Amino acid sequence: MFIVESYGVAVALCFVTMLCWGSWANTQKLASQEWRFQLFYWDYSIGVLLLALALAFTLGSTGEAGRAFMPDISQASTDSIQMALLGGAVFNLANILLVVAIDIAGMAVAFPVGIGLALVIGVIANYDPAQVNNATLLFVGVGLVVVAIVIDALIYRRVPGDGSKSVGKGLAISIIAGFAMGFFYRFVAQSMSMDFVTPDAGLMTPYSAAVVFAIGLLVSNIVFLIPLMYKPISGEPAALGEYFSRGTPKLHLVGILGGAIWATGFCFNIIAAGEAGYAVSYGLGQGATMVAAFWGVFIWKEFKDTPQGTNSLIAAMFACFLVGLGMIIYSNL
């Protein structure tokens, strides 16, 4: 299977993760113009599983190093499979709430607050002193991300209300999503062997873990998504039958593309974790907040109606994120 053997390549894959995790929500913005996000999310979940399977049977099954996908997943212990499934379910709860927050508040708010908070919690939850060379740089970088989150919340309070957005509701849901998002990665990490070349018996390689994770995500829609379809936090209900009656091939493909984009970032991230360590790999990947904020601010113009002085706050937010991410990268050099 394909294995990362240098820190530079690992960081490069984490930057791909950053781009993917920060960009997939654009597909939701496009699809939500024609149908409810709950219907989009079914296709998104399918896209995550399809991409994970595609990588498992290609990168995860070629080469002489490591353990190929089918032999690997067949030897996985019940505990490992359960942890990866749990990781998928916890992520799904967090991501559904994030999607709700995007629907209410927009990408420029939901991502910096929700995913920025997840970055902080995730780095702390996955921190291992043996995997980090400079803990001070790591945690100062995380602290700057916290500052950026606070600045973003202040910016959002300046957005004029239009009757369809609620400052309190949007921020509250983003915060809850961030807390849940901060812990899912730890469960996936516990299902994987840190040695990808000669994996431990019973534990999985990243490719197998990603497939099991994706199954947990899709199946947990029954618990988390279906109730939200009939009793949404905001907007009108979306009956399950509408997925088949209203869904066009184009709409389904947009959703599947969104899931595939996110899953590409996820798979690359856990592949890179073998060389970069879980805390750094996760922390860099969650730099997606920067990418999403860029889309929200400059492409979707979500802050265009804010009062004078907002541009300075936006610049400060981006500066804190950039410096913070730089410190996270250098903490393991």
**What is the reported pTM?**
0.84
**Residue-level pLDDT at 108:** 64
**Residue-level pLDDT at 282:** 80
3-state helix, strand, coil in the chain (%, to 5): 75, 0, 25
Q: What is the pLDDT along the chain (333 residues), one digit of tens a residue?
A: 899 989 899 989 998 998 998 888 889 888 877 888 899 999 999 999 999 999 999 999 998 888 999 999 999 999 999 999 999 999 999 989 987 887 777 666 676 778 778 878 888 888 888 878 899 998 998 888 888 878 877 786 676 654 444 657 877 888 899 888 888 999 999 999 989 999 999 999 999 999 999 999 999 999 999 999 999 887 788 888 999 998 999 999 999 999 999 999 999 999 998 888 887 888 777 777 778 777 877 777 777 777 888 889 989 988 998 898 889 888 887
Instruction: Report in angstroms the alpha-carbon separations of 78 from 82, 85, 91, 204, 207.
Output: 6, 10, 20, 11, 17
Instruction: Report in angstroms the alpha-carbon separations of 63 from 67, 73, 84, 253.
Output: 9, 17, 24, 32
Q: What is the 3-state secondary structure (H, E, C) of 81-109?
A: HHHHHHHHHHHHHHHHHHHHHHHHHCHHH
**Residue-level pLDDT at 163:** 45
Residue 315's contacts (CB-CB under 8 Å, 6 or more residues apart) are none
Rounded CA separation 252/175 (Å): 29
Beta-bridged to residue 192, according to DSSP, are 204
Rounded CA separation 172/176 (Å): 6
In the chain, what is the straight-line distance between the N-terminal and C-terminal CA atoms, in Å?
26
Query: Degrees (nearest 5) of the Cα angle 116, 119, 124?
Result: 140
Rounded CA separation 253/243 (Å): 13
